[in-house]
Copies of this chain bind each other. A is one copy, B any other.
Amino acid sequence: MKTYRERSREELLAMKEELEAEYKKFQERGLKLDMSRGKPSAEQLDISMGMMDVLSSSAQLKCREGVDCRNYGVIDGIQEAKELLADLIEVPADKIIIYGNSSLNVMYDTVARSMTHGVCGSTPWCRLPEVKFLCPVPGYDRHFAITEYFGIQMINIPMTPDGPDMDLVERLVSEDASVKGIWCVPKYSNPQGITYSDETVRRFARLSPAAEDFRIYWDNAYNVHHLYEDEQDTILEILEECERAGNPDLVYKFSSTSKISFPGSGVAAISASLRNLKDIKKQMSVQTIGHDKVNQLRHVRFFKNLAGIQQHMMKHAAIMRPKFEAVLEILERELGGLEIGSWLKPRGGYFISFDSLDGCAKAIVARAKEAGVVMTGAGATYPYGKDPHDSNIRIAPSFPPLEELIQATELFVICVKLVSIEKLLGDMQAS
């Protein structure tokens, strides 16, 4: 098979005509499909419905410590929720705080607190002339939105198959005291599905930051979000590695049950050294009387323990796997060998990351949209929404039913082909 670049102008024009016809047929179908966000499907939500019935008598609403979970109090979470979430993210139960429904909100609060109050006694960031964050790219748009909102300067760090480019990270962190943090999704990363290698995690733990208030923002969003029962990524536990490296305070580890139970009605957590947790609790005690303990208890009663979560995640996997496989099959079948796009085959997480030819991503997403398929906005995976190569597109296969997902992906590959041909034709004209 010829690659697109090996095709003559005439061949490309002929192919374009055919593709335009196929595209038009899609348009006529009046599709309304959404592959934009990492939302679980209704089918996935149904497997957690048992949660709605585990607390129905007053007696059931007392937690193990005897606290009435319906009332005020217990600011950092009930003990059994701490144990469940701690097991989930592989940390000791005394190094965790349980929050409300959103780990994004916990991350926001962490940055906001650093702005107004500094980190463990450091100068509040709002008093500094400049604050910078490192942003492995492609990455998660909502992370970048937080740092952008606070006027924090973001620096792109290229991702490699082993995680962020650690040579660059080490250099910037050790040389520049205005670098205060790095956003990481270390396992089944958003959007590439990459899991950081042991060496990468160890290099993170051994960082020597110029800034005392530098922290790694370790968003453990997809820790148990495997697609397969037998092929699962594993990752070194960062808190332990940081302790071992003599840097116990270096990391904040965020997590939640959002894509385990109900997104929006889950339970979030932060894990960190006791010194960091003490710093955080000073704020928390002013911010709230306590988070929703009834919901914490609901999760504990439903999942029971880590094994319960793991079994539950295999039900999610059974729903997600065919969707990922369908997208990957279509990409491979339609685009394999054409050299107009590349992608990774993740073993977990919520996304497939697609890289088009340079300068094509925006046009591909626009084309898809005009035919009724909404993708994540091109550029969204980069700080400030600016993909310097205009090539990365995040595919989110989870939400649409399989049938719709197949249609959407078939349209997507047509768009990729069309836009790529247009680009190649343009290049020919220019040269």
Contacts and interface: CB of A to CB of B under 8 A. Distances in A.
Interface string A55-86: 11110000000001111110000000000000
A68 B43 CA distance: 12
Contact of A149 (B72, B146, B286): B286
Given A265-B294, A286-B149, A293-B264, A45 B57 contact: no
Contacts of A286: 108, 142, 145-146, 149
Contacts of A104: 287-289
Contacts of A292: 100-101, 264-265, 292, 295
A262 interface: yes
A263 interface: yes
Contact of A263 (B102, B112, B116, B289): B289
Interface string A391-419: 00000000000000000000000000000
A132 B332 CA distance: 63
A297 B318 CA distance: 29
A37 B72 contact: yes
Interface string A103-134: 01100100010011100000010110000000
Interface string A278-299: 0000010111111111110000
A264 B52 contact: no
Nearest to A287: B108
A137 to B, nearest CB: 19
A39 interface: yes
Nearest to A49: B58
A42 B68 contact: yes
B265 A40 contact: no
A115 to B, nearest CB: 5
A53 interface: yes
Contacts of A291: 101-102, 264
A45 B49 CA distance: 24
27 contacts: A37-B72, A39-B71, A39-B73, A45-B68, A45-B71, A48-B70, A49-B57, A49-B58, A52-B55, A69-B265, A70-B263, A70-B264, A71-B264, A72-B263, A72-B264, A100-B101, A101-B292, A108-B286, A115-B126, A116-B150, A142-B289, A145-B285, A145-B286, A146-B287, A265-B294, A265-B295, A292-B292
Given A45-B68, A49-B56, 14 more contacts: A46-B58, A70-B262, A70-B263, A70-B265, A100-B100, A100-B101, A102-B289, A105-B287, A115-B126, A117-B149, A126-B127, A145-B285, A264-B290, A265-B294
Instruction: Give the top 3 A-B pairs by smallest Cβ distance, nearest first.
Output: A265-B294, A70-B262, A126-B126
